[in-house]
């Protein structure tokens, strides 16, 4: 496993799985196929944390591999102090699936400032190997969206005041 930052295979894996590097992301970064989209996501985080650019490039979907920015990736990987990975959700991406999504938050420090990158990443399996297709970054604070039915201006106010909405909370 060629990388800029060296840790022992017996050290905890940077992805936060609780396993050692050799039992978690190490084999995937060395070319073994990830069993799930989440496992590939974890290995990509670990590759950023350790500066393993070869894995970052090789785990990209073929469509994007030619445009891989090795210098920019190296600069970001080396300039960040990687703090941890949190998997928020997965959709598909299992051993029998061909596509999957993993929503995650990667925490890091850059220039002494705590930062968090939240992304919904898409993955595709080809010939038994998972590949990162693309991702959509998300705000760390999603907007609040009402989930109940819309209150009309002449409906009773949902606050319980027994007034019409237009004369209470809607004023």
Give the total number of structural domains in the chain: 1
Q: Give percent of the chain with pLDDT exceeding 70.
A: 87
Say if residue 120 is exposed, middle or buried (CB neighbours under 10 Å; 0-12, 13-18, 19+): middle
Which residue segment(s) compose the domain that 107 sits in? 21-140
Whether residue 10 is contained in a domain is answered as: no
Say if residue 78 is exposed, middle or buried (CB neighbours under 10 Å; 0-12, 13-18, 19+): exposed
* pTM listed for this prediction: 0.78
Whether residue 100 is contained in a domain is answered as: yes
Q: What are phi and psi of 141, to 5 degrees?
A: -125, 105
Average pLDDT, the chain: 88
Residue 107: predicted pLDDT: 94
* pLDDT reading at 28 higher than 50: yes
CATH number at residue 26: 3.10.450.50
Confidence of residue 1 (pLDDT cuts 50, 70, 90): very low
**How does 26-49 read in b/e, with b if 16+ C-beta sit within 10 Å?**
bbbbeeeebebbbbbbbbbbbbbb
Whether residue 12 is contained in a domain is answered as: no
Residue 2: predicted pLDDT: 46
Longest CA pairwise span in the chain (Å): 69
pLDDT digits (tens, 9 = 90+) for 120-158: 999 999 999 999 999 999 866 554 455 556 777 777 766
């Amino acid at each position: 496993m060629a990388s800029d930052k060296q840790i022992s295979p017996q050290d905890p894996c940077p992805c936060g799985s609780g396993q050692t590097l050799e039992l978690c992301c190490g084999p995937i970064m060395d070319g073994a196929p990830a069993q799930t989209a989440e496992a590939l996501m974890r290995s990509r985080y670990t590759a950023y944390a350790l500066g393993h650019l070869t894995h970052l490039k090789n785990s990209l979907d073929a469509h994007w591999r030619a445009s891989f920015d090795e210098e920019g990736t190296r600069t970001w990987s080396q300039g960040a102090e990687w703090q941890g990975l949190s998997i928020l959700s997965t959709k598909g991406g299992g051993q029998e699936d061909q596509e999957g999504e993993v929503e995650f938050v990667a925490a890091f420090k850059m220039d002494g400032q705590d930062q968090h990158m939240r992304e919904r990443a898409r993955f595709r399996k080809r010939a038994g190997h998972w590949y990162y297709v693309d991702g959509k970054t998300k705000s760390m604070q999603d907007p609040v969206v009402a989930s109940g039915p819309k209150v009309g201006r002449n409906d009773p106010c949902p606050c319980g005041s027994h007034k019409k909405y237009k004369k209470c909370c809607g004023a």
